[in-house]
Structures are given as C-alpha cells and as structure tokens.
Amino acid sequence: MKLSICTISFRHHLYSMDQIAHFAKTQGFQGIELWGIHAKNLADERHYGADWLSSYGLEASMLSDYLPLDAPVSEMMAETERLSSLAKRWGTNKIRTFVGKKGSSDTSKKERDALIVRLKMLCDYLESEGQHLLVETHPNTLTDNLSSTMQLLEETNHASLRVNFDVLHIWESGTNPIVAMKQLRPYISHYHFKNIASRTQLGVFSPNNVYAAAGSREGMVPLFEGAVDYSEFLAEVVSTMEVDASLEWFGANVKSVLAHDSQEVKKALQLVQI
C-alpha cells in the first residue's frame, strides 16, 4: 500500500508545503494528495513540483479538485487544461473531481446525459495527455451510490475514467464497502480513508460544514475508532489489489491523528501478512 496525506487536512493551518512534506516523510508516508487550490496557489513558486517532492522521498499521489462540469465548455476545458498542466508538474496522472451537484435520484435523465457528455470530453482530453479522471464516490453527486456509479462508468465507457473510492461515503450510502469494492475494483485507482463515530453524525462531512473554519468537527474520529470497520476492509482490499490511498482527516490535532492513523494502518497490514 502507498499511503498519502492530503494537503486539504491543513487547510486551516499555517503550515508551509515544506513543513507538510517534512511531516509526511518523518511519519513514513509515501505521498501527498495535493488539493487543487493549493497547487494553483503554488503555481508561481517554480521550485515546487515532482523533483522537489522526490527530494523528500515522496510523490504526488493525486491532484484533487472540482472541475466545473456545468460551466460553459470553453471555461470547463480551460480549467481542465490548467489542472492537467499542474498535475504534470507535480508528477501525477490522477485528477480527482465530483460529478454534478445533486444526488443521483434528484438528477433528471436530461441532466445526467449532459454530465456524461461533459465527462467524455474531459476524458478525451486527459487521455491525450496520458492522465486519468477520477470521480469520487460522494453524497449529492451522480456517484452517491454503487448502482449509479456503475451506471456512470458504463455510460461514459472511457478508459481514462477511474474511481476514487471513498470508503466512508460508500458505507454512508447503505452499501457494504467490501461488496462495493469488489464490483468497482476494475475501475478503482485511489481510496480515501476516514471515519465517523456514528451514522447520525455524518452531516459533519457536508462540504458547507467541513470546509468552514468554524464548522463542527463532532463525530470525526481516528480511522480505527469509528463505525466503519477498517480492519476488515483493509484485510480484504490489500489481498485483492495494489492500493493507493489517502488519509483524509478534517478534524483537530491534524498531525497527531495522521501520525497515529498511519501507524495503525501499518499494524493492520502486518496482521494481514501474517
């Protein structure tokens, strides 16, 4: 398993990229998942990129952003080209996005068809650049459940379209993550790992709350202390495929929690190998 930290975890902290990379190296992470806005804001700092990360023994595992699929085509493609260029600079071929701004059950066929057309355009471009588009399994998007995600993959039918499998959000949809993983396995290129104390607290991860500096963090817990059984999930997934994953932490005590969770992941993997 290659395990990354997410720079989004440091969105409300005054840590430089140098400090984040140093922390990732000292804690034994293999990569950094770069939030799109961070990559954009570092664009003029020319020494930052794949070679700089490599000096820490790290790689960029993914560039995570929110491509404007509902914008005019020219605007959407300009943003895609910008992210593609940044991804090349950081040495990753994976660009993550969400699909739509409504849940699958609230999206009309016409709206869905329009999103699929846009996805094909993005995939065509990224394929020409040797890159992949990863759609994240996430509430209030077209990939908010297993069946809609499978349908989207079939409708788009493009080799460059891949999945960022968010374990918690699959569980949130009511599907066993192991069952979903087995079905989506041919398409999965990355995983997000996070947990919650109780299903009743899942609202804490809604974008309006989680991106707010003053938002609630109640219910966010370390990876192996929540409602999703990561010991069981990791035992299953690492026995079936190579795993690239990011610890996605949005709560307080970011360094201590990430350091603790990375050690617990390593312990869980050791048990699998025994």
Phi, psi angles (nearest 5°) of residue 69: -65, -15
For residue 109, give both structure tokens: 């066929």
CB 210 within 8 A of CB 204: yes
- Spatial CB neighbours of 160, under 8 Å, sequence gap ≥ 6: 123, 124, 126, 127, 131, 132, 133
234-to-3, 4, 125, 182, 242 alpha-carbon distances in Å? 12, 15, 34, 13, 11
238 C-beta neighbours (distance < 10 Å), count: 16
1, 3, 12: which is closest to 215 by C-alpha?
Answer: 12
Q: Name the active-site residue from 38, 132, 138, 192.
A: 138
Active site residue 138: yes
209 C-beta neighbours (distance < 10 Å), count: 14
156, 146, 225: which is closest to 184 by C-alpha?
Answer: 146
Task: Kindly list the catalytic residues.
Answer: 138
